[in-house]
Homo-oligomer: A and B are copies of this chain.
Amino acid sequence: MTKRSYTILGVGAVGGYYGARLAEAGHPVRWLARSDADHLRAHGLTVSSPRGDVALDDLEVFGPGEVPPPSDVVVLATKTTGTAAALERLEAAARPGSIVLVLQNGLDVEGPVADALPGRTVLGGMSFMCAGKDGPGHIAHLDYEAVTVGEHAAGGAAAGVTPAVQGVVDDLLGAGVPGEALDDLIAGRWRKLVWNIPFNGLSVVLDAGTDELMADAAALALVRTLMGEVAASAAADGHPAPADVIDVMLERTAKMTPYAPSMKQDFDARRPLELPAIYAAPLAAAARMGRAMPATAALHAELSFLDARNRAGA
């Protein structure tokens, strides 16, 4: 049986890692790169990982303006801050009838893609991975690699585990990646925000790794407060997280390799922060429900200030 083909749009840590695992498992993979295109063509892609390194040569690389052949699944793996600029390439790569997997952080990230690309099946995916891109064509994977996948439905209803979702999850499992099907994508997005909102933001504002935040009583209490605000908004939104979500996440974080979350990596590289998807969208969703998330709003304001100064190069 021929394995399903994938097109990966965005060859950062997320796109690079999962694309490499799928290619390693025998899936045809096309790579849509931008600044790294020439490097990927010349030198391939390497992944260092505690689960085993991967080195891929002779990649099918497509630079800006180059349209790949149709794939069964097209994965949008850019930062959310790059979605708007990537939509044209995504539309060309994902023919009507194909599956688009929005493998990004945040809330309300599938809606703009579904609106811009009618006739595609749009899935949302979340990566739970400690990894970074060391440079063009080299991904350093540190810990974890699970991916949750659910189908987008207009209005945020739970779509159930559709065949499209199950197909992508099966491909991930076949590539050794713990894939998990979500019957309620929005619940999965809120659940990931329970971690992202405290740890992404505080790692930037306090210039601290996850281990430092876990070790300080005041910081940990603030993490719990932020997590509680997110979990309460998720429940009010009709997509509650499991009752023990905070304790489970803190236990997992305590066992993590000390790690700079993606937003800290973006900040240190002076890339724009994913504030609209990770902070503004949840705050707006809460506001629509008449709910305040005051500690989250304060953190968002601090991050907005730091992001603006950081990008101005001050």
Please tell me if A54 contacts chain B, counting CB pairs below 8 Å: no
Q: Are A218 and B295 in contact (CB under 8 A)?
A: no
Please tell me if A297 contacts chain B, counting CB pairs below 8 Å: yes
Closest chain-B Cβ to A208's Cβ sits at a distance in Å of: 7
Residues of the B chain whose Cβ atoms lie less than 8 Å from the Cβ of A226:
298
Please tell me if A225 contacts chain B, counting CB pairs below 8 Å: yes
Pick from B216, B225, B299, B301: contact of A305, CB below 8 A: B216
Residues of the B chain whose Cβ atoms lie less than 8 Å from the Cβ of A305:
206, 208, 212-213, 216, 218-219
Q: Are A219 and B301 in contact (CB under 8 A)?
A: yes
Q: Are A304 and B225 in contact (CB under 8 A)?
A: no
Residues of the B chain whose Cβ atoms lie less than 8 Å from the Cβ of A306:
206
Q: Are B225 and A297 in contact (CB under 8 A)?
A: yes
Q: Say whether, besides A297-B295, A298-B225, A304 and B218 are in contact (CB < 8 Å).
A: yes
Closest chain-B Cβ to A35's Cβ sits at a distance in Å of: 30
Residues of the B chain whose Cβ atoms lie less than 8 Å from the Cβ of A225:
294, 297-298, 301
Residues of the B chain whose Cβ atoms lie less than 8 Å from the Cβ of A206:
205, 302, 305-306
Q: Say whether, besides A295-B297, A297-B295, A302 and B222 are in contact (CB < 8 Å).
A: yes
Pick from B213, B219, B221, B298: contact of A222, CB below 8 A: B298
Query: Once bound together, how far apart are the Cα atoms of A218 and B305, in whole Å?
Result: 6
Please tell me if A236 contacts chain B, counting CB pairs below 8 Å: no
Pick from B216, B298, B309: contact of A295, CB below 8 A: B298
Please tell me if A308 contacts chain B, counting CB pairs below 8 Å: yes
Residues of the B chain whose Cβ atoms lie less than 8 Å from the Cβ of A216:
304-305, 308-309
Closest chain-B Cβ to A193's Cβ sits at a distance in Å of: 17
Cβ contacts A83-117/B at 8 Å (1 or 0 each): 00000000000000000000000000000000000
Query: Once bound together, how far apart are the Cα atoms of A298 and B205, in whole Å?
Result: 12
Nearest chain-B residue to A275 (Cβ)?
A: B218
Cβ contacts A282-314/B at 8 Å (1 or 0 each): 000000000000110111111011101100000
Q: Are B301 and A298 in contact (CB under 8 A)?
A: no
**Shortest Cβ-Cβ A-B pairs, 7 listed:** A218-B304, A294-B294, A222-B301, A295-B298, A219-B305, A218-B301, A298-B298
A residues engaging B (CB < 8 A)?
A: 202, 205-206, 208, 212-213, 216, 218-219, 221-222, 225-226, 294-295, 297-302, 304-306, 308-309
7 more contacts with CB within 8 A, not counting A218-B301, A219-B302, A221-B301, are A205-B205, A212-B305, A216-B304, A218-B305, A222-B298, A295-B295, A295-B298
